[in-house]
C-alpha cells in the first residue's frame, strides 16, 4: 500500500466547491477517464517513461523518475490487470478555494459519499478504478488536473480492495458478527482488514471508513494484539516476537498469517519445528480462528537477514 502527497484532515463538511459525478459530467467524462486509464495502463505495463510523462510538473519534481520506477515495481508485485473505471468526480474551483470537497449521492449514507482533496486550479478530477489481481481485487485512484490544456496526474494510489472476493463491507459484517460471539481475536483482525481495504489513499476518503473506524474503536482487542507491533507472546518458558498478524488470501481462501522473528536458521526442520510450536500455541489460545479462517500461515523471519521459512496448516472445511 502506498500513496503520494500529504493527506488533509478528514472532511466533515460539504465545502463550497461543486462536484459533478459520472454521467452528469458530460463530454469531459471520456477525456478525463481516458487520461487516467492511459496513466494506469502505463503503470501496469511497467512503462515508467510513459507514466512519468503523464505526471504534473509538481509531481515530477516531488517524485522523480527513479521514485516513480520504484512505485511501479511495487505495483507490479500485485500482478494487476483489467483496470476499469468505477466513478469519476469532476471539481470546478470557485471564488472561495478550499482544500477538500465532499461528493455525495446520499450524504447520510456512508457508502454514498467520498471526501476529495483539491488544489487551487480551476478544473480537476478524481477517478476511482478497480483492477484484478491473483487472490485479490485492487482499488486504484488517480487525481488529475489541467496543466497547459492537458490532463496531468497530481497524485495516485494503489491498494488491495478485497481478499479472496471479500470486500471491506463483507469483512466489516463478519467483524460485527464475531464481536457479538465474543470472538475478540477474529473481530480485531477483521475490523483492521476492513479498514485497510477501504483505504483509497490520502486524496480520496470513503465515507464508510469513518463508520468502520467508529465501530472498531468500541471493540477491545485481546492483549496479544494491543499496541503497535511487534507483539510479545508468551507460553510458560516459551516466547515469540510477533512481527505481524493479519488475514491473507491464498487460493481463494482467507488465512491467518503470523510472522515472527527467529535466530539464525540452521536447518529447515529446525525452523519448521519453531513454527509448529507457535502454531500449537496459537490454536490453543485462539481456537475461535477456525470460525472464519481457512487455516494458518506461520512465517519465520531470520533476525538480521531476508531469509524466511513458512509453515501452513489448512482446515478441512473451507472458509
Ranges of residues in the chain with a pLDDT under 50 are 1-16
pLDDT of residue 92: 87
pLDDT digits (tens, 9 = 90+) for 94-125: 656 678 888 876 555 556 788 999 998 889 99
Q: Which domains does the chain have, with CATH numbers?
A: 14-163 (3.10.450.100), 166-216 (no CATH), 223-314 (no CATH)
pLDDT of residue 82: 95
Phi/psi for 138 (5° steps) reads -110, 150
Quote the pTM value.
0.83
Burial of 288 (0-12, 13-18, 19+ CB in 10 A): middle
pLDDT of residue 18: 80
Q: For residues 215 and 208, what is the distance between their CA atoms, to the nearest angstrom?
A: 11
Crossing angle of helices 57-76 and 28-45, in 10° steps, is 50
Q: For residues 12 and 204, what is the distance between their CA atoms, to the nearest angstrom?
A: 13
> How many Cβ atoms are within 10 Å of 233's Cβ, its own excluded?
20
pLDDT of residue 103: 87
Amino acid at each position: 500500500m502506498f500513496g503520494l502527497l500529504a493527506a488533509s484532515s478528514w472532511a466533515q463538511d460539504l465545502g463550497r466547491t461543486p462536484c459533478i459525478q459520472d454521467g452528469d459530467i458530460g463530454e469531459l467524462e471520456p477525456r478525463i477517464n481516458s487520461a487516467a486509464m492511459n496513466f494506469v495502463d502505463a503503470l501496469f505495463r511497467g512503462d515508467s517513461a510513459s507514466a512519468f510523462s503523464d505526471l504534473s510538473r509538481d509531481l515530477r519534481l516531488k517524485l522523480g523518475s527513479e521514485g516513480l520506477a520504484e512505485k511501479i515495481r511495487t505495483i507490479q508485485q500485485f500482478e494487476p490487470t483489467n483496470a476499469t473505471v468505477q466513478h469519476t468526480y469532476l471539481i470546478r474551483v470557485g471564488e472561495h478555494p478550499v482544500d477538500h470537497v465532499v461528493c455525495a449521492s446520499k450524504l447520510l449514507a456512508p457508502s454514498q459519499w467520498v471526501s476529495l482533496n483539491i488544489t487551487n486550479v480551476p478544473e480537476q478530477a478524481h477517478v476511482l478504478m478497480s483492477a484484478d489481481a491473483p487472490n485479490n481485487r485492487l482499488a486504484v485512484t488517480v487525481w488529475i488536473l489541467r496543466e497547459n490544456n492537458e490532463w496531468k496526474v497530481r497524485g495516485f494510489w494503489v491498494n488491495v480492495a478485497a481478499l479472496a472476493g471479500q470486500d471491506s463491507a463483507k469483512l466489516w459484517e463478519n467483524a460485527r458478527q464475531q464481536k457479538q460471539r465474543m470472538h475478540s481475536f477474529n473481530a480485531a483482525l477483521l475490523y483492521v482488514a476492513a479498514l485497510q481495504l477501504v483505504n483509497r489513499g490520502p486524496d480520496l476518503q470513503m465515507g464508510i471508513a469513518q463508520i468502520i473506524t467508529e465501530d472498531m474503536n468500541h471493540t477491545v482487542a485481546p492483549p496479544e494484539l494491543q499496541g503497535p507491533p511487534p507483539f510479545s507472546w508468551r507460553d510458560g518458558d516459551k516466547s515469540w516476537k510477533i512481527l505481524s498478524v493479519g488475514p491473507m488470501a491464498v487460493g481463494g481462501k482467507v488465512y491467518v498469517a503470523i510472522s515472527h522473528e527467529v535466530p539464525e536458521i540452521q536447518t529447515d526442520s529446525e525452523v519448521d519445528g519453531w513454527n509448529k510450536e507457535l502454531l500449537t500455541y496459537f490454536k490453543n489460545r485462539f481456537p475461535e480462528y477456525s470460525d472464519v479462517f481457512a487455516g494458518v500461515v506461520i512465517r519465520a523471519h531470520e533476525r538480521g537477514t531476508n531469509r524466511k521459512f513458512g509453515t501452513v496448516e489448512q482446515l478441512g472445511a473451507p472458509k
